[in-house]
Structure 1
Amino acid sequence: MKKSIFLFCLLSGLFFYGQSQRFTYEYKFVIDSTAKDKQETEMMFLDISPKGSKFYSKDYFESDSIMNANFEKQIKSGTTDLQLTGMKFKGKVRYSIEKSYPDYSVNYYIILATDEYQVQDGRTQNWKILPNKAKIGEFSTQKATCEFAGRKWTAWFTTDLPIQDGPYKFHGLPGLIVKLEDASNSHSFELKGAKKLPAGYEWQSVKDKERYDPLIIVNENKYKKAFKDFLNDPMKGHRKMMGDGVITEVRDSTGKIIDPEKVRRDQEKRIKDNLKRQNNILEIDLLK
């Protein structure tokens, strides 16, 4: 009972005192429809502040932070030969989603090959709120359904937390989404924890970070075309870099330089094989 009261007070503080909050969701997904027994799990953060929210992978965020710190350390040391050895990104979810309050405009950030996109997604979820109620964890929840991105979704939301947000791009219900799953049971999100963020915390938008090349800003229709182009030719950007004279030197375990053309062919095959297995992505309508 004490734990329940503490959790409720902790979360309620967000709304009464403007305290920024981090909600942790467990995301379970099956990316290959031909291997439904191979379910994957990733912990996701939903950071909520007075100006908006940001949804992203815990593992990918932590890996990115470590890699950036490593690069900064190498640069400060004066080296001009940056080393990538031993650095590897964790996490399979590589996108992030930002919603700005109070209009809940959605921006989706993703990298395809060498291009980084900001997708301004103007779609909304037309929720049907149902009378069904259930207890999920510490929360009393109510059922709602909608169709979005080619899938039918069921959400359970709680009015104990009167904020109209949730995992991924989902929002617009009278309370925070505690659980969300699609009709095929291949994508689901469930709230697993929450904590207050430090006073004065304010997340930095992905669009404001330093980068070599500018963001490509598109709407969801133009992004769908770009996504299909990427599936058809995932190495287009790499070939352009080579055409511009940008050559990445790769060495084997003995230190011998590997033929860059062989590296490109091997990488292209690996990427195409991987993309073929990704036939059950969350936004399934991107593949149609």
Structure 2
Amino acid sequence: MKKTLLLIAIFCITISFAQTHRFFYDLTIRKPTDTATINMVLDIDKDKSKFYDEEFLKVDSINKSSNQKMQTNSESNQLLIRKTNTSENQQFLTHTYDYFVVRSNDKMNWKLEKEIKKIENITLQKASTNFGGRKWIAWFDSKIPFQEGPYKFNGLSGLVYEVYDSENIFHYALTKNKNLPKTYDTTDFLETHYGKKPIPISLKQYQKVKLDYYNNIVEVLHEFAKKGGTIASEHDLSSPEEIEKKRKTLQQSIKKYYLPIEKDKAIPYPND
């Protein structure tokens, strides 16, 4: 955090000379099975804010410097573009070979708290909100003139340094920042998925896509195998009984590892 504060101080001096203001966050997700930390990036341009996995930057740098065509996928499933100073989000979602975009308006109703905390010469103020079926706590700096933050968290009178839910399942923490003299082009991996344009889709339509996949998981894998893919299976899937056994195993695995950040938009997988 100390390094972050030094960088932020430099940022305040050089803000007027940059076209893309880039902030790096650690996203820690505490699942029932394990804990994972994903490095994320928030780019703030003149008209838009973009949030995505840092791994995309690494691959994009290799592609641009060596004319390669490497690809990667999002580990966070939190790929977003938002109009600056609005709550109008475009969220990009991958599913098998498809790339979708879901639009939403996610206004945050923040409650400013009296509590503050100081880290060296930086004063952070506390705020709270209920969003996506979870209660969230944020710490922000009103001296950084951006009403932005990680994922969909924006609307405070300054940059969000840290935000986490009351159960501390999702935890975002600012780690560093840099200013870029030119607007960074994310076309290859965000606005498109390496050339594949996103299909506009509603939340209900996306939920149906995921439910259809869940209900027909065995058939989907069979189609994958027909196209040359390899499936590791300990079951003989020649009988209806074995097919259903495999289906149940795969469905249980899908639900086990599914942890939606927004509970009210969760895919309604059956409880059986």
Q: Which bin holds the TM-score, normalised by the shorter protein?
A: 0.7 to 0.9
Amino acid at match of 1:278: Y
Distance, in Å, in 2 between the alignment partners of 1:167 and 1:120 is 17
Name the counterpart of 2:185: 203
CA contact (8 A) 1:24 1:45 kept: yes
CA 1:25/1:268 → structure 2, altered by over 3 Å: closer, same or farther?
farther
Name the counterpart of 1:276: 255
1:217-275 deviations in Å (ceiling 9; x for gaps): 12334434434444444567666778xxx8235599xxxxxxxx99xx9x988864542
1:121-149 deviations in Å (ceiling 9; x for gaps): 11211111111111257631111111111
Distance, in Å, in 2 between the alignment partners of 1:115 and 1:90 is 12
CA contact (8 A) 1:31 1:281 kept: no
Name the counterpart of 1:123: 106
Query: Shift of the alpha carbon at 1:43?
Result: 1.1
Distance, in Å, in 1 between the alignment partners of 2:5 and 2:166 is 33
Name the counterpart of 1:158: 141
Q: Aligned pair 1:169/2:152, yes or no?
A: yes
1:186-238 deviations in Å (ceiling 9; x for gaps): 110010111122x12333342356535x4221233443443444444456766
CA 1:282/1:4 → structure 2, altered by over 3 Å: closer, same or farther?
closer
Task: Find 1:109's aligned residue among 92, 109, 122.
Answer: 92
Q: Aligned pair 1:248/2:228, yes or no?
A: yes
Q: How many pairs does the alignment contain?
A: 254
Moved more, 187-196 or 98-107: 98-107
Query: Shift of the alpha carbon at 1:45?
Result: 0.9
Moved more, 3-12 or 127-136: 3-12
Q: Aligned pair 1:39/2:23, yes or no?
A: no
1:146-202 deviations in Å (ceiling 9; x for gaps): 1111211111111121211101111111111101000111110010111122x1233
Distance, in Å, in 2 between the alignment partners of 1:178 and 1:218 is 32
Q: Runs of 5+ in structure 2 lacking a partner?
A: none
Amino acid at match of 2:257: Q
Name the counterpart of 1:144: 127
Name the counterpart of 1:23: 23
Secondary structure of 1:226's aligned partner: helix
> Sequence identity, in percent?
25
Secondary structure of 1:117's aligned partner: strand
Distance, in Å, in 1 between the alignment partners of 2:46 and 2:167 is 35
Q: Please, what TM-score do these two structures have when normalized by structure 2? A: 0.76
Secondary structure of 1:143's aligned partner: strand
Task: Find 1:62's aligned residue among 58, 69, 82.
Answer: 58
Amino acid at match of 2:255: K
Query: Shift of the alpha carbon at 1:56?
Result: 1.0
CA contact (8 A) 1:207 1:215 kept: yes
Q: Equivalent residues in 2 for 1:167-246 (5 A)? A: 167-197=150-180, 199-205=181-187, 206-208=190-192, 211-212=195-196, 214-234=197-217
CA contact (8 A) 2:87 2:107 kept: no
Q: Aligned pair 1:92/2:78, yes or no?
A: no
Moved more, 153-162 or 199-208: 199-208
Q: Please, what TM-score do these two structures have when normalized by structure 1? A: 0.72
Query: Shift of the alpha carbon at 1:112?
Result: 1.4
Amino acid at match of 2:227: I
CA contact (8 A) 2:27 2:171 kept: yes
Query: Shift of the alpha carbon at 1:47?
Result: 1.3
Secondary structure of 1:162's aligned partner: coil
Distance, in Å, in 2 between the alignment partners of 1:95 and 1:240 is 28
CA 1:236/1:110 → structure 2, altered by over 3 Å: closer, same or farther?
farther
